[in-house]
Amino acid sequence: RVQPRPADFKKAALLSGSPGIGKTTSAHLVGAECGYEVVEWNASDKRSKRDIQETVLDMVNNTSVASMFRPQELTQRKCVIIMDEVDGCDRGGVGEVIQMIHRAKLPIICICNDRYHPKVKSLANHCLDLKFNKPNKEQVAQHIHRIIRSEGHDMPVETIKRLVESMNNDMRNCLNTLQMWFRSRKNISHDEACGMQSKGRKDHEMTMFTAPEKFLMPQRPKLSIAELRDIYFAVDFVSLYVQENYLNMKPQDCKSKEDRLERISKAADAISAGDITDRIKLFEQNWSLSSVAVLQSAIYPSAQVRGHFESFQPTNAWSDNRLRFPGWLGKNSAFKKNQRLITCIAKNSRNPFTGTSGSRTDLRMDYFPLFTHYITRPLADRGKEAIEEVTAFMDQYQLGRDDWDFLQELQGGWHHPSMKKYQAASVETGAKSAFTRYFNKTHLQSVTKSITSTTRDEVGEGLEA
């Protein structure tokens, strides 16, 4: 008897993790262990939606590879498709992969390096999400030491640890390097390994997500000021990462809570001085201050708080101890959007007799609270009966339906007790929906009549001419 599938059953699995961690090897081993034929397909070679349809569509609609090539022969051999590097597809390709997962007759294993890429986030909602964490230096070194001994070679453990650290704990790169080293010799001493280590060093790409760890996390070997300065100028938003996370860093050599607060205080003073220096640099175009600004805003504060992430108020959102993304970027974007919308409202509603006057600040502080009061209170008190009254008030000041929503969002910053009663949440859903329909209907007709009358006048003038 076939057991019913659970509610959270997934047809596909998504394996994510850093390169060389063993994702593809694990997928092959699991497929072989379960008795499946493994068919590997690299998504970075076929990136578009059309390529995926032509290459994999027939495959996912069959229960095995043999049945796809020999449909006249019945076979019971099962098949699993491994789609490697799905984060290399374009958006259309990822959408096609999602559609194939829903209609597939066989299991699919998707593999990616960047789990937090926007394209992969949509794919993860349709897969069993399995994250491969990078092992630490000790784990990789022990495993590599066992492999070396099993192959009949010998190498000091400390030398292996140094090699692993230089390869950023990349198991695959370490094994490839060792294979090259042991081709011409049986054993390798510590001095010989140090001499060949630079030849096998991997050039790791520095991104805005990995660069802040060089400043805030302990590094071995320690990076010099010149190296940190080069990273700062090569990657964006390093100083913003430091400002966002320095309060939640616990220094590795911190002796007490008082010592931690003292270090945080020194970091805050340095960040403030860095902001002043950066402002002078930009306004006076004095680019010789760039090195000073880097020291004050990033290098010195990081040196004070460098350690591990430990929030004063731990929450589930940051339970993985990852550095927080700079919140200033989102707040600055919202601020600019609000300024732009306020400028539009000020321009449309300005009239010395029946409209507004004054600057944007006057509009924000004096007019907007009253606007919100008069366009919200009638709907909250009388519901649908007040729709025409509210619409007439909005027409007087040239306010649109989107402006009504924008004023409700700004209302969150007004804490006067008399205003809390008339927030948008107090307006019933039915009244708000009826108001939206009436406003869109009447103003669409008025715009259409205006355009029609203007066109007729232009046509008449053309005929008279």
Q: Which CATH number fits the domain that encloses residue 159?
A: 1.10.8.60
State which residues form the domain around 350: 341-452
> Same structural domain for residues 411 and 429?
yes
CA angle 139, 141, 145 (to 5 degrees): 120
Angle between helices 137-150 and 171-181 (to 10 degrees): 40
CA angle 11, 40, 4 (to 5 degrees): 15
> Same structural domain for residues 49 and 121?
yes
Average pLDDT across each block of 10 residues of the chain; the chain has 465 residues. List them in order. Answer: 61 86 89 86 62 58 48 57 81 79 84 82 86 85 89 84 79 82 74 59 64 84 84 88 90 86 93 93 88 92 88 53 82 88 88 84 84 85 89 90 85 55 66 90 60 45 44
In a domain, 251, yes or no: yes
> Same structural domain for residues 47 and 119?
yes
Domain boundary among 296, 325, 354: 325
What pLDDT score was predicted for residue 54?
A: 59
pTM: 0.51
The secondary element (H helix, E strand) that includes residue 236 is none
> Same structural domain for residues 183 and 220?
no
> Same structural domain for residues 448 and 400?
yes
Domain boundary among 80, 114, 131: 131
In a domain, 224, yes or no: yes
Q: Where are the beta strands (DSSP E) in 67-174?
A: 78-84, 108-112, 128-131
In a domain, 158, yes or no: yes
In a domain, 118, yes or no: yes
Q: Which CATH number fits the domain that encloses residue 246?
A: 1.20.272.10
The secondary element (H helix, E strand) that includes residue 8 is none
> Same structural domain for residues 369 and 396?
yes
> Same structural domain for residues 378 and 274?
no
In a domain, 412, yes or no: yes
Domain count, the chain: 4
Q: Which CATH number fits the domain that encloses residue 85?
A: 3.40.50.300
In a domain, 59, yes or no: yes
In a domain, 255, yes or no: yes
What is the 3-state composition of the chain as percent helix, strand, coil, each rounded to the nearest 5?
60, 10, 30
Domain boundary among 85, 104, 131: 131
In a domain, 205, yes or no: no
Q: Please name the amino acid found at residue 53.
A: Q
> Same structural domain for residues 24 and 118?
yes
What pLDDT score was predicted for residue 367?
A: 86
pLDDT digits (tens, 9 = 90+) for 171-228: 888 888 888 878 777 777 766 666 665 544 444 557 788 888 889 888 766 888 888 8
> Same structural domain for residues 219 and 318?
yes
Residues 27 and 15: beta-carbon distance below 8 Å: yes
> Same structural domain for residues 178 and 231?
no
> Same structural domain for residues 374 and 446?
yes
Nearest to 301 by CA among 334, 347, 348, 269: 269
- Could you check whether the bond before residue 251 is cis, i.e. omega within 30 degrees of 0? no
> Same structural domain for residues 312 and 253?
yes
